[in-house]
């Protein structure tokens, strides 16, 4: 099919081919091809037609289309396989057949192949059917191909022999000319009416505002050029009829190939119609003249330009659009090359070249068409106007491309051949052409029928394409697709060529290219207002064409690039369309539209449970707080399951589903993905990030580089997603560029779809987003310990305070690697509150020590069989940890943490396993109160206590060397509890020396070993409150008492404690810190600090002397009594300590009973004061005697006691260990009881140290 908007299209005879007798499709196309090759028939080849008898009555000259009339002429058949206007539902175009007869389909050819059973009747039936269906045609013939016979089937059958197609076409031409003669004759006797008056449909051509102004302007031009002819109305009407007939006849001549006759007829028509002011038909006639000139030029025949043109072509508008005032682009006739063809021009006055003449004619025709718009009857139909413009525009474009009206251009115009491109020679400028083309849009193009509009757009697009105005072409195509989508015109796709189905898709993608959509360049990110509607349109087009691949491409583009401009509904709709398309395609063939889906991959630390241990030799002796910790590094273990956290994004407003396939590493062998079931599916909520946990197994030690994942998203193709890092800022190059980025001519569909594949934006140098690789270290296989069994029921133990509880834990080395490094750590949950308490800065040092003691010395859980555990635990070996839980107040949970490793050389990695045991601790025996009471005299009672003291006296000690410790114990438990309390023998205390720590350690050992484990039997037998002495098998000097405390009762116990003698140096030691804390700020006063310090040391000593255990009466529960509640006051300290200067008073001449001395009044006796210095240095001081009356304290003692000398006198220096005796004569005058006190005062530095006598002395005077 030839170009319907070619300039010479009105000279072509429309021919329709119809397949008959079940002709196969491909064969039909083959036949059509054969016929098309010979569509141009020279008249010289056509056999002459016998002249028709002329009727004398006819006023006009007889019409004769005898080919002999102009043998040079040609008849050109426009072979079409689809029916034209008549059948395409465009009935309204039929009314144009009178005005432009060439629109009619004149010839209908039925094609069929010869078959043996083909009879004349069958052929006749086919022919009848042809005539019925295509009654509008004037020639109906049947072409029989491959027929062995050449006659016998009827008059209307043409037999096509091998190679005889040309002959057949000549025959067709002959039949056509004959038929045309009679057809034309019919026109001779009718009055031709304009199409406007024949159609009742509104096809008026109105102008929009601006063009109306232009029209007025143009009308004024024309009016000045019009001839001042005065003709009457009737004369004008007659001329109109005559002129119109000339014009139609001209058209017929042109169809019949008799171009000179046609030119003459058109010339006559123009002259007549000019007189008649019939603008519409005049315009048409002018165009006819132009076509004839082109055809004659093509044939190389001379022609004479009708003289009327001299009148009409005056004041032809310049070669520039009517709206552009600039006159710069007028092609000057001197520049334009003269036509190379021989051409005789009688038209000298204008001096125009053929193209310019054609242009002028066309412009003039359009001017007249415009003028006709004011006529209510003879106005120009919009379609005619548009097509006229398109024809001249096509002509100009061809001339522009070819450089001049060269033979190649003429061939293109007439035969549709290719034009040889020549450089721009300025015959027409692009601007001229575009301005003229834009006239198309002036009229109400929108009001035209959709099919016609589409055709116009197609023609315009092809012109712009020829002119390389690709943006313009894109715009027109966009309008075309929009029109098409809006009107729902079904696009007839010739399925004969598989490529045709792709054609609209191809066009759409070329359109996308023009608008740089889906490009790599940053320009493609910008123009959302332009790109988005275009993509929506493309998407809709693909949907209506059911092109799933197109739907996916454009939908993906929309979603990936213009998300910001889309609301929820739009996004969901596009997503739905894509999903549908994927479903239609059956196999996933598209990539997911968000290549940056994978945002991060993290290695979860706890998954590996490894900690780095430094090589021991690298330890610096100095602590460097600025040294960086290397603990941040996460390490995976070969062949061990590791967990990854994969972060994916979903920027869309719909949910996406994701099926993970595998995690990718640089070395594919180094990583194995563990998918718990065949495929791992996950839904990511709209507009969110989502973390997915996934297990992997590293298969090689060394460095693991994780690059991304392979996944299937939303049913798309299995695809690799790299980890997206930061976005790169892309800059447009600051360069001047010209023209669209690429011309569609060079564009290849495949490369375009390459660009649609967004992923390749990442591999190129100017990638949008940097890819990230997650690097982790993988170490060689490490051992794994597994917990096999714990002997604690349910992992929960109930303990009384101080109770000990043994249990075992069974471990197994479940890996293939031996363990040669094992460390044990026990912790309980009291650590945190204690540590917190230590943080308080207001605590005095002794309290801090107490907390530290609980924190460090008193552990809640202990390993008992540390020595039994082997150095190396082989693969698969089992071992048991024997553990002891100790009931500690406030403990809720205790755990044992084992750190183990396979230590090679240097640094190694440890793993830890924790065995937590939940504990409930209830109070058992509580210390309710304590006090110290001094004793001086043995009461010689029969109780254990006094017996014990008596024993001591027998050993040469004084009773006053001891004091009594009073302890109140409360049984807070619900059952009776046996207790046992004891003290350490004095001998051990003395031998322990001043090193309290040693004693303590020793005691610890004892209390844990001996007392509890060796003596349960002894405890059990002792009932009631009874003390035991060393003689009962206890170590020498040890006092032990046992009792049973009923539930919720408090009992008081008295223990003898030997007074403690500490040297000054010992007491001046600062309170130690168990945590090795270097400096403690002491805010207390000096005196207070001294007391705290002394009290600390004495208390520490007492605690080391005491031991107590308890045992529940009815069960096996047993434990230690918590004695650390003992607190010493100043008074208690004074009672406890042994004076450094020993003062002993005795009376001579007196009888002593206990602490009382009996004297006789007015008798003389001597008070002897013995001072022994136990200090390390000599002492010098004042000795004071303080006698006082007990019976009558108010009275001065001076009247009652006489003494010889002074009551106070200074002593000389007493050396260490030296004993000095002072004597003083005394006489008691009055009867009564007196107390005689003695104080030795020493001024040591600025401190006054006082020593009192060891035992008080009471004097009874009788």
Binding mask 322-341 for another protein (x = CB under 8 A): -xxxx-xx------------
Between 38 and 525, whose beta carbon lies closer to another protein?
525
* CA angle 658–663–665, rounded 5-degree value: 150
Between 761 and 826, whose beta carbon lies closer to another protein?
761
Distance CA 930, CA 952 (A): 24
Q: Does 359 bind another protein (CB under 8 A)?
A: no
**Quick one: which segment of 462-470, 720-728, 765-773, 1033-1041 binds another protein (CB under 8 A)?**
462-470
**824 neighbors 811 (Cβ within 8 angstroms):** no
Q: Does 786 bind another protein (CB under 8 A)?
A: no
Q: 203: buried, middle or exposed (CB in 10 Å: 19+, 13-18, 0-12)?
A: buried
Distance CA 1145, CA 1138 (A): 17
**Quick one: which segment of 209-217, 292-300, 1097-1105, 1145-1153 binds another protein (CB under 8 A)?**
209-217
First-to-last C-alpha distance (Å) of the chain: 163
Which of 125, 732, 775, 987 binds another protein (CB under 8 A)? It is: 732
Cβ partners under 8 Å of residue 393, min gap 6: 433, 436, 437, 460, 463
Q: Does 457 bind another protein (CB under 8 A)?
A: no
**Quick one: which segment of 118-126, 178-186, 207-215, 548-556 binds another protein (CB under 8 A)?**
207-215
Q: How far is the CB of 739 from another protein (least distance, A)?
A: 6
Which of 327, 606, 734, 1247 binds another protein (CB under 8 A)? It is: 734
Q: How far is the CB of 211 from another protein (least distance, A)?
A: 7
Q: How far is the CB of 208 from another protein (least distance, A)?
A: 4
Between 475 and 1097, whose beta carbon lies closer to another protein?
475
Between 329 and 761, whose beta carbon lies closer to another protein?
329
Distance CA 627, CA 629 (A): 6
Q: Does 347 bind another protein (CB under 8 A)?
A: no
Q: How far is the CB of 469 from another protein (least distance, A)?
A: 4
Distance CA 28, CA 23 (A): 6
Q: How far is the CB of 475 from another protein (least distance, A)?
A: 4
Q: Does 206 bind another protein (CB under 8 A)?
A: no
CA-closest candidate to residue 1158, choices 1168, 1149, 1170 = 1149
Distance CA 600, CA 602 (A): 6
Distance CA 1100, CA 458 (A): 109
Between 527 and 682, whose beta carbon lies closer to another protein?
527
Between 328 and 1116, whose beta carbon lies closer to another protein?
328
Between 430 and 1090, whose beta carbon lies closer to another protein?
430
Q: How far is the CB of 524 from another protein (least distance, A)?
A: 8
Between 522 and 1018, whose beta carbon lies closer to another protein?
522
Q: How far is CA 658 from the centre of its chain?
A: 13
**7 neighbors 391 (Cβ within 8 angstroms):** yes
- Strand-pairing partners, residue 659, are 681, 712
Q: How far is the CB of 363 from another protein (least distance, A)?
A: 18
Q: How far is the CB of 465 from another protein (least distance, A)?
A: 11
Q: How far is the CB of 202 from another protein (least distance, A)?
A: 19
Between 101 and 474, whose beta carbon lies closer to another protein?
474
Q: How far is the CB of 593 from another protein (least distance, A)?
A: 22
Q: How far is the CB of 358 from another protein (least distance, A)?
A: 22
Kindly report the number of other CB atoms within 10 A of residue 1199's CB atom.
Answer: 10
CA distances from 1243 to 1085, 1142, 1170, 1172, 1238 (A): 21, 17, 19, 17, 16
Distance CA 344, CA 303 (A): 6
Q: Does 187 bind another protein (CB under 8 A)?
A: no
Tell whether the torsion through CA atoms of 286, 290, 295 and 297 is positive or negative: positive
Which of 226, 600, 690, 741 binds another protein (CB under 8 A)? It is: 741
Binding mask 603-642 for another protein (x = CB under 8 A): ----------------------------------------
Which of 533, 715, 934, 1237 binds another protein (CB under 8 A)? It is: 533
CA-closest candidate to residue 276, choices 317, 246, 320 = 246
Could you tell me where the beta strands, DSSP code E, fall in 762-892? Answer: 769-772, 774-779, 785-790, 796-800, 804-813, 821-828, 861-863, 878-886
Q: Does 1104 bind another protein (CB under 8 A)?
A: no
Cβ partners under 8 Å of residue 611, min gap 6: 631, 899, 909, 910, 911, 912
Q: Does 462 bind another protein (CB under 8 A)?
A: no
Distance CA 994, CA 1062 (A): 7
Q: How far is the CB of 384 from another protein (least distance, A)?
A: 20
Q: How many residues bind another protein (CB under 8 A)?
A: 48
C-alpha count within 13 angstroms, C-beta hemisphere, residue 569: 0
Between 39 and 472, whose beta carbon lies closer to another protein?
472
Distance CA 1254, CA 1135 (A): 11
Q: How far is the CB of 478 from another protein (least distance, A)?
A: 6
3-state SS, residue 1026:
strand
Between 678 and 735, whose beta carbon lies closer to another protein?
735
Say which residue the tokens 């669209």 belong to. Answer: 740
Between 346 and 728, whose beta carbon lies closer to another protein?
728
Between 520 and 1137, whose beta carbon lies closer to another protein?
520
Distance CA 87, CA 130 (A): 13
The structure tokens listed for 1039 are 């006092």
Between 13 and 469, whose beta carbon lies closer to another protein?
469
**341 neighbors 300 (Cβ within 8 angstroms):** yes
The 3 state secondary structure assigned to 591-616 is CCCCCCCEEEEEECCCCCCEEEECCH
**Quick one: which segment of 158-166, 467-475, 1167-1175, 1199-1207 binds another protein (CB under 8 A)?**
467-475
Kindly report the number of other CB atoms within 10 A of residue 530's CB atom.
Answer: 13
Binding mask 469-488 for another protein (x = CB under 8 A): xxxx-xxx-x----------
**112 neighbors 126 (Cβ within 8 angstroms):** yes
Q: How far is the CB of 357 from another protein (least distance, A)?
A: 25
Q: Does 764 bind another protein (CB under 8 A)?
A: no
**H or E, element range at 931:** strand 925-934
Q: Which of residues 410-449 bind another protein (CB under 8 A)?
A: 429-431, 434, 438, 441-442
Which of 586, 736, 841, 867 binds another protein (CB under 8 A)? It is: 736
Q: How far is the CB of 321 from another protein (least distance, A)?
A: 9
Binding mask 493-532 for another protein (x = CB under 8 A): ----------------------xx----xxx--xx-xx--
Q: Does 993 bind another protein (CB under 8 A)?
A: no
Footprint of another protein (CB under 8 A): 208-211, 323-326, 328-329, 429-431, 434, 438, 441-442, 464, 469-472, 474-476, 478, 515-516, 521-523, 526-527, 529-530, 533-534, 731-741
């Amino acid at each position: 099919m030839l170009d319907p908007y070619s300039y010479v299209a009105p000279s072509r005879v429309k021919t329709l081919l119809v397949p008959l007798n079940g002709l196969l499709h491909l064969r039909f196309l083959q036949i059509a091809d054969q016929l098309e090759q010979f569509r141009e028939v020279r008249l010289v080849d056509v056999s002459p037609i016998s002249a028709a008898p002329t009727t004398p009555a006819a006023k006009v000259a007889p019409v004769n289309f005898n080919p002999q009339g102009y043998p040079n002429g040609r008849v050109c058949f426009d072979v079409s396989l689809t029916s034209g206007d008549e059948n395409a539902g465009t009935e309204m175009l039929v009314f144009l057949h009178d005005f432009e007869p060439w629109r009619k389909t004149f010839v209908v050819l039925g094609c069929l192949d010869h078959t043996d059973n083909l009879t004349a009747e069958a052929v006749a039936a086919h022919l009848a059917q042809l005539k019925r269906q295509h009654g509008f045609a004037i020639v109906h013939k049947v072409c029989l191909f491959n027929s062995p016979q050449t006659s016998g089937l009827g008059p209307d059958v043409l037999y096509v022999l091998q190679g005889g197609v040309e002959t057949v076409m000549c025959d067709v031409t002959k039949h056509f000319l004959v038929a045309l003669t009679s057809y034309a004759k019919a026109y001779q006797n009718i009055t031709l009416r304009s199409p406007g008056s024949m159609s009742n449909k509104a096809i008026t051509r109105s102008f929009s505002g601006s063009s109306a102004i232009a029209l007025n302007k143009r009308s004024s031009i024309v009016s000045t050029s019009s001839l001042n002819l005065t003709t009457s109305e009737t004369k004008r009407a007659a001329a109109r009829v005559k002129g119109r007939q000339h014009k139609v006849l001209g058209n017929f001549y042109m169809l019949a190939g008799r171009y000179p006759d046609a030119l003459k007829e058109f010339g006559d028509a123009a002259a007549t119609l000019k007189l008649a002011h019939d603008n519409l038909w005049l315009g048409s006639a002018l165009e006819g003249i132009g076509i004839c000139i082109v055809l004659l030029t093509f044939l190389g025949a001379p022609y004479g330009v009708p003289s009327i043109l001299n009148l009409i072509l005056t004041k032809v508008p310049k070669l520039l659009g009517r709206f552009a005032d600039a006159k710069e682009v007028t092609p000057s006739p001197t520049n334009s090359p003269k036509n190379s063809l021989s051409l005789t021009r009688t038209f000298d006055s204008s001096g125009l070249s053929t193209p310019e003449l054609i242009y002028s004619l066309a412009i003039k025709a359009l001017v007249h068409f415009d003028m006709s718009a004011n006529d209510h009857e003879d106005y120009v139909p919009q379609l005619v106007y548009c097509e006229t413009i398109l024809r001249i525009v096509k002509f100009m474009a061809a001339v522009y491309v070819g450089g001049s009206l060269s033979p190649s251009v003429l061939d293109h115009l007439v035969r549709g051949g290719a034009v040889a491109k020549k450089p721009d020679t300025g015959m027409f400028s692009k601007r001229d052409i575009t301005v003229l083309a834009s006239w198309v849009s002036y009229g109400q193009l929108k009001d035209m029928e959709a099919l016609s509009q589409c055709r116009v757009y197609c023609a315009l697009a092809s012109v712009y394409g020829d002119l390389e105005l690709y943006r313009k072409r894109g715009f027109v195509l966009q309008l075309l697709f929009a029109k098409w989508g809006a009107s729902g015109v079904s696009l007839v796709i010739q399925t004969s060529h598989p490529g045709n189905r792709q054609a609209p898709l191809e066009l759409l993608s070329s359109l996308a290219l023009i608008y740089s959509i889906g490009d790599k360049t940053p320009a493609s990110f910008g123009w959302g207002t332009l790109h988005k509607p275009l993509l929506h349109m493309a998407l809709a087009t693909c949907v209506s064409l059911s092109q799933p691949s197109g739907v996916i491409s454009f939908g993906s583009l929309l979603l990936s690039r213009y998300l910001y401009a889309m609301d929820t509904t739009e996004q969901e709709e596009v997503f739905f369309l894509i999903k549908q398309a994927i479903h239609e395609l059956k196999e996933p063939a598209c990539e997911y539209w968000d290549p940056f889906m994978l945002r991060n991959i993290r290695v979860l630390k706890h998954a590996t449970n490894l900690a780095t241990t430094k090589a021991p030799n690298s330890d610096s002796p100095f602590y460097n707080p600025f040294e960086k910790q290397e603990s941040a590094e996460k390490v995976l273990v070969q062949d061990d399951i590791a967990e990854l956290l994969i972060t994916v994004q979903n920027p869309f407003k719909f949910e996406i589903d994701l099926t993970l396939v595998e995690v990718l590493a640089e070395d594919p062998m180094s990583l194995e993905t563990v998918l718990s079931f065949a495929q791992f599916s996950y839904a990511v909520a709209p507009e969110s990030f989502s973390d997915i946990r996934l297990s992997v197994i590293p298969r090689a030690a060394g460095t693991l580089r994780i690059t991304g994942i392979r996944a299937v998203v939303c049913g798309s193709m299995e695809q690799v997603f790299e980890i997206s890092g930061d976005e790169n800022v892309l800059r447009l190059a600051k360069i001047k560029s010209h023209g669209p980025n690429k011309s569609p001519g060079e564009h290849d569909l495949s490369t375009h779809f390459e660009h649609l594949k967004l992923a390749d934006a990442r591999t190129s140098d100017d990638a949008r987003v940097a890819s990230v690789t997650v690097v982790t270290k993988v170490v060689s296989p490490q051992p794994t310990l597994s917990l096999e069994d714990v002997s604690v029921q349910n992992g929960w133990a109930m303990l009384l305070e101080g109770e000990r509880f043994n249990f075992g834990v069974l471990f197994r080395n479940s890996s293939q690697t031996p363990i040669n490094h094992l460390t044990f750590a026990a912790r309980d949950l009291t650590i945190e509150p204690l540590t917190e308490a230590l943080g308080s800065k207001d605590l005095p040092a002794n309290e801090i020590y107490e907390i530290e003691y609980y924190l460090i010395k008193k552990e809640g859980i202990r390993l008992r069989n540390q020595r039994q555990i082997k150095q190396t635990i082989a693969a698969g070996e089992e071992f048991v940890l024997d553990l002891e839980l100790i009931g500690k107040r406030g403990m809720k949970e205790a755990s044992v943490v084992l750190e183990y490793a396979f230590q090679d050389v240097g640094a190694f990695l440890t793993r830890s396993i924790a065995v937590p045991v939940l504990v409930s601790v209830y109070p058992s025996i509580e210390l309710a109160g304590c006090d110290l009471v001094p004793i001086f005299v043995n009461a010689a009672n029969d109780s254990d206590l006094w017996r014990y003291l008596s024993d001591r006296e027998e050993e040469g000690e004084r009773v006053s060397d001891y004091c009594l410790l009073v302890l109140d114990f409360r049984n807070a438990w619900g059952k009776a509890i046996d207790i046992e309390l004891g003290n350490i023998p004095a001998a051990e205390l003395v031998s322990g020396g001043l090193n309290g720590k040693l004693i303590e350690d020793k005691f610890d050992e004892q209390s844990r070993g001996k007392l509890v484990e060796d003596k349960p039997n002894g405890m059990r037998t002792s009932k009631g409150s009874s003390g035991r002495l060393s003689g009962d098998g206890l170590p020498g000097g040890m006092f032990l008492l046992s009792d049973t405390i009923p539930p919720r009762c408090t009992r008081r116990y008295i223990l003898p404690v030997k007074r403690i003698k500490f040297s000054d140096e010992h007491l001046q030691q600062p309170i130690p810190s168990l945590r090795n804390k270097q400096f403690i700020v002491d805010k207390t006063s000096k005196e207070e600090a001294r007391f705290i310090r002394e009290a600390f040391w004495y208390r520490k000593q007492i605690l080391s002397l005491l031991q107590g255990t308890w045992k529940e009466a009815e069960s096996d529960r047993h434990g230690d009594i918590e004695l650390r509640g003992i607190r010493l006051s100043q008074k208690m300290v004074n009672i406890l300590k042994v004076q450094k200067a020993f003062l002993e008073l005795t009376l001579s001449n007196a009888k002593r009973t206990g602490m009382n001395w009996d004297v006789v009044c007015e008798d003389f006796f001597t008070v002897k004061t013995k001072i022994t210095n136990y200090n390390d240095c000599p002492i010098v001081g004042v000795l004071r005697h303080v006698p006082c009356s007990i019976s009558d304290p108010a009275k001065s003692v001076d009247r009652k006691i006489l003494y010889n000398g002074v009551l106070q006198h200074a002593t000389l220096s007493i050396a260490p260990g030296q004993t000095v005796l002072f004597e003083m004569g005394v006489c008691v005058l009055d009867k009564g009881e007196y107390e005689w006190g003695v104080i030795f005062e020493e001024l040591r530095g600025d401190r006054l140290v006082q020593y009192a006598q060891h035992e008080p002395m009471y004097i009874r005077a009788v």
